[in-house]
């Protein structure tokens, strides 16, 4: 009798498994049991949803260091967004106050060189600066991301915070002119494609006063597409009236 019951039970289980297999179910989708008959919470009313949104909006803003030296130290420290990227950081350098150059991220080799825009990109930058009567030491150079992502692209999840940090960085440097290099840097001023800057740039009101801003393609792109250099030159030169190549 016991053997017959065991056989019937096993046959029933095998039959059920065969039925599910024929239906296309071949794996579990949850590790823990789920009560499929349990009642789910009703959707929030518009008022409740608005209250939740207000609570998120009321979250305290990130408090950032209010001096340039302290901010740079923080950007290179363990609380910076790039701290978990497992990539070497490259610090900003140069003289604040005149021209500030903001690139999107360190180039390959910058970490080994210990400075931004080294190698071929650096030589192109030096040529640009020489054409307008500037030098590398006389301008302030920084990057939107202090480390180079493994993918070579700044993820969308990081872009908004990095742009907010860059705006704070720019306000502390208080430059007269700002050169944005690379498409990602255009997000610093909430632009989508940089067209607002135009060939002659535009003026942006900062806490330290107005500054001229212009955007060009990434230096690595200009090296790969030499024909794009003319557009970059034409955007940079209006920074310095009367300068010619």
For residue range 2-24, list pLDDT tens digits in order.
555 555 666 766 776 676 677 66
**Helix (H), strand (E) counts: the chain:** 8, 6
Identify whether the C-beta of residue 179 lies closer than 8 Å to the C-beta of residue 136.
Answer: no
Closest C-alpha among 213, 210, 206 to residue 185: 213
Identify whether the C-beta of residue 243 lies closer than 8 Å to the C-beta of residue 237.
Answer: yes
First-residue to last-residue Cα distance in the chain: 102
- H/E stretch holding 210 reads strand 209-216
Cβ burial, residue 75 (10 Å; 0-12/13-18/19+): buried
List the beta bridge partners of residue 210.
205
In Å, how far are 194, 210, 211 from 175, measured between CA atoms? Answer: 19, 9, 7
- Tell me the pLDDT tens digit for each residue of 18-66: 766 776 665 555 555 565 555 555 666 666 666 655 554 555 677 899 9
- Tell me the pLDDT tens digit for each residue of 206-245: 666 678 888 999 999 999 999 999 888 888 887 665 444 3
């Amino acid at each position: 009798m016991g053997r017959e019951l065991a056989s019937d039970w096993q046959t029933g289980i095998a039959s059920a498994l065969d039925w599910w297999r024929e239906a296309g179910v071949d794996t579990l989708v949850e590790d823990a049991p789920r009560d499929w008959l349990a009642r789910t919470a009703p959707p929030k009313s518009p008022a409740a949803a608005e209250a939740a949104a207000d609570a998120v909006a009321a979250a305290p803003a990130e408090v950032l260091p209010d001096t340039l030296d302290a901010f740079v130290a923080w950007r290179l420290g363990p609380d910076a967004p790039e701290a978990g990227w497992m990539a070497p950081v490259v610090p900003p350098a140069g003289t604040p106050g005149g021209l500030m150059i903001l690139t999107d991220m360190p180039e390959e080799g910058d970490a080994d060189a210990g400075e931004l825009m080294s190698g071929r990109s650096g030589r192109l930058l030096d040529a640009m600066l020489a054409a307008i009567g500037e030098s590398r030491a006389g301008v302030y150079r920084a990057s939107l991301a202090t480390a180079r992502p493994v993918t070579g692209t700044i993820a969308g999840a990081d872009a908004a915070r990095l742009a907010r940090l860059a705006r704070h960085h720019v306000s502390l440097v208080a430059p007269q002119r700002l050169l944005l290099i690379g498409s990602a840097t255009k997000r610093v001023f909430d632009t989508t494609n940089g067209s607002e800057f135009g060939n002659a740039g535009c003026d942006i009101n900062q806490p330290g006063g107005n500054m001229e801003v212009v955007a060009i393609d990434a230096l690595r792109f200009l090296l790969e597409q030499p024909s794009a250099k003319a557009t970059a030159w034409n955007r940079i030169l209006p920074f310095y009236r009367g300068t010619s190549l």
